[in-house]
A and B are shown apart, each in its own frame.
Chain A
Amino acid sequence: MTPEQPAREAMTAAQLRDVVVDALRSVAPEADAASLGDAARLRDAFDLDSMDFLNVVIALHTALGVDIPEADYAKLQTLGGAVAYLASRLEPRVTG
């Protein structure tokens, strides 16, 4: 295991949620992200097509520095799911 990039300060779930909402807003600026429930399906709530969704993933990648494999897209279907998934990806590795 190669050393990770400069250790990121652990983000709280609320901060991660803000990052996800910002990413969604960058793609769907007219949507009401503030009142979004954790269980709402993002594709439906924001009328995202695959290009929009890819742009959300790219925005998350840019903001957090995590790479999100295509195989994990299913874990980003809801706001709550996305926050939990990103938190797990950002956890510092304990062992090499």
Chain B
Amino acid sequence: MGEFRMPSLGADMDAGTLAAWRVKPGDLVARGAVVADVETDKGVVEVEIWEGGVIDALVVAPGTKVPVGTVLATLRPSGSEAVVASPPATAAAPARVLASPSAKQLARDRGVDIALVRGTGPHGAITREDVERAADSAPSVTPSAPPPAIAPVAMSARVAPPDGAAMRRAIAAAMTRSKREIPHYYLSAELDVEAAQRWLLAHNAGRSVTERVLFAALLLKATALAALEVPEVNGWYVEGAYQPASAVHLGVAISMRSGGLIAPALRDAQARSLDATQAALRDLVARVRAGRLRSSELTDATLTVTSLGEAGVDSVFGVIYPPQVALVGFGRVGERPRASGGMLGVRSVVTATLSADHRVSDGHRGAVFLRAIETLLQQPEKL
């Protein structure tokens, strides 16, 4: 009998709320399938299962917050007897109520009319706490206490924005841990990107809008290839030992429009063409904004890239996201005077920075890595 547990979706998560099930008992699921939506401090995440089989029982009801590691569902091997209980239909949530799916579900579970709850969240949104308060103040109705009925999954297209204060706390917890455990060192180098800029302009000139590549995609691809050359920056430091990764899953720091930051993994960045990198980046940004990230994307990154150049800063020295061991920062791409061969010219440059972990590498290897990025950007057609 297999078990599906609440996953840890990053160094800053110790509990999550099961927002909705995507499966019901009797369903056959393949490894890697999305089986549940989990609400975290950073929004709703689509959680994949890492063992195939038939869903035997859903142990945790939607709306329940449980610690990481809690069994959420049990599985049996496919092929065994399946007793399929068809789930009871439940009424749709009241329209025009600003509340997260989990708050709505909690209201249903506790018999609270959500239309009567006063919201204290952003824009008057109803939070789980508001529902709890309303439920506690209402005359107590003894629940008949059957195992929780499983509601059909509401594929909510829009998700209430995550709680800003909770996200800030989660980021602070992860960054505090990083600064406590990781002996950071920092390097900075100004990279000449004139050739890459010109190449990209010509590359995009004949293309329709949907096929155009952003400069960010070149920076990501060059970073991924450079990481193959300097494996000390690409991997995880776990239980006192460094585990280099063979593939480069680049965590791409993406700002959430509601505030805060998340760095989902662009998987196998070293193996993607520029077009595929661009497409993957576009897809990631869209899903960050829509609150539709998958759990593996939050846990797989082996090296993170942050680009604050568009915000107008020249350089950014990031804090490493454990268990990773390095973080690359790119500042503003712009034309600056550059002396070369006794002549002063105007070149497109970008400041690249590296924050890296002294337990794994030192400044010399870090410098080799940054130099490798610049060398790769001199031949953009090969990226």
Contacts and interface: CB of A to CB of B under 8 A. Distances in A.
Interface of A: 28, 30, 47, 49-52, 54-55, 57-58, 61, 67-71
Given A58-B210, A68-B209, A51 B285 contact: yes
A50 B312 CA distance: 12
Interface stretch (B102-110, B175-183, B212-220): B212-220
Contact of B257 (A28, A50, A57, A69): A28
Nearest to B215: A50
Given A49-B310, A50-B214, 8 more contacts: A30-B258, A49-B255, A51-B216, A54-B212, A54-B282, A58-B209, A69-B205, A70-B212
A51 B277 CA distance: 13
B260 to A, nearest CB: 14
Contacts of A55: 282, 286
Interface of B: 201, 204-205, 208-210, 212, 214-216, 255, 257-258, 281-282, 285-286, 310
Chain A interface, DSSP helix/strand/loop, else mixed: helix
Contacts of B210: 58, 61
A34 to B, nearest CB: 16
6 contacts: A28-B257, A30-B257, A50-B214, A54-B209, A58-B209, A70-B204
B208 A67 contact: yes
Contacts of A57: 209
A67 B214 contact: no
A50 B309 CA distance: 11
Contact of A51 (B205, B208, B282): B282
B281 A61 contact: no
B281 A51 contact: yes
Residue from A49, A51, A70 having most chain B Cβ neighbours under 10 A:
A51
